[in-house]
Amino acid sequence: MKKRRLLCLAPVSCLGLAGLLFLLSCIGPKLRIDRESFARIEIGMTENEVIAIFGAPGSKNDSEWIWKRVKNRFDVVGVDGSDQDSPVLTFKAWVGDGVAIQIGFDSTGKVRALFYFGFEETRLNNARRYLRLP
């Protein structure tokens, strides 16, 4: 009797989990991490202006993720506007489906460097990134 009950509960549990994941993906923030948003970023913008364009704040952890996951597997389009007065930059990153954008902010919180990384991502790595797994 227990086996029969387990056999009935397993598909129902899987369906419930799939429904929950679908619901979470629908109600999550709508990020605009793409080439069009990247094109709107300009040297000298504030971090708040960048956040308004992408729809969420960047992350230092995502900046590390870029180098761990996509190094040697991306096309880079970089624009560097840093000057000698502000050599130390704090980098933050925004990662989307097949896109990673890394932006360097100076000590005043203004954009000084920006990079666009386009890459192909396996489904497993996509799930890892979505679930924030290593």
Judgement on whether residues 65 and 109 belong to the same structural domain of the protein: yes
Integer Cα distance of 75 and 71 in angstroms: 10
Residue 36 domain boundaries: 31-131
Judgement on whether residues 16 and 79 belong to the same structural domain of the protein: no
Report the pLDDT value the prediction gives residue 6, as an integer from 0 to 100.
67
Q: What is the CATH number of the domain that holds 71?
A: 3.30.1450
Judgement on whether residues 88 and 24 belong to the same structural domain of the protein: no
Higher pLDDT, 15 or 67: 15
Judgement on whether residues 22 and 37 belong to the same structural domain of the protein: no
pLDDT, tens digit (0-9, with 9 covering 90-100), for 21-69: 666 555 555 667 888 899 999 999 999 999 999 888 887 766 666 666 6
Judgement on whether residues 12 and 58 belong to the same structural domain of the protein: no
Judgement on whether residues 19 and 37 belong to the same structural domain of the protein: no
Report the pLDDT value the prediction gives residue 50, as an integer from 0 to 100.
93
Integer Cα distance of 108 and 8 in angstroms: 60
Residues 6 or more apart whose CB falls under 8 angstroms from that of 69 comprise: 125, 129
Integer Cα distance of 34 and 124 in angstroms: 21
pLDDT, tens digit (0-9, with 9 covering 90-100), for 81-132: 545 454 678 888 888 777 888 898 888 999 998 888 877 777 787 777 677 6
Report the pLDDT value the prediction gives residue 94, as an integer from 0 to 100.
86
Domain count of the fold of the chain: 2
Report the pLDDT value the prediction gives residue 52, as an integer from 0 to 100.
92
CA 45 to mean position of chain CA atoms: 20
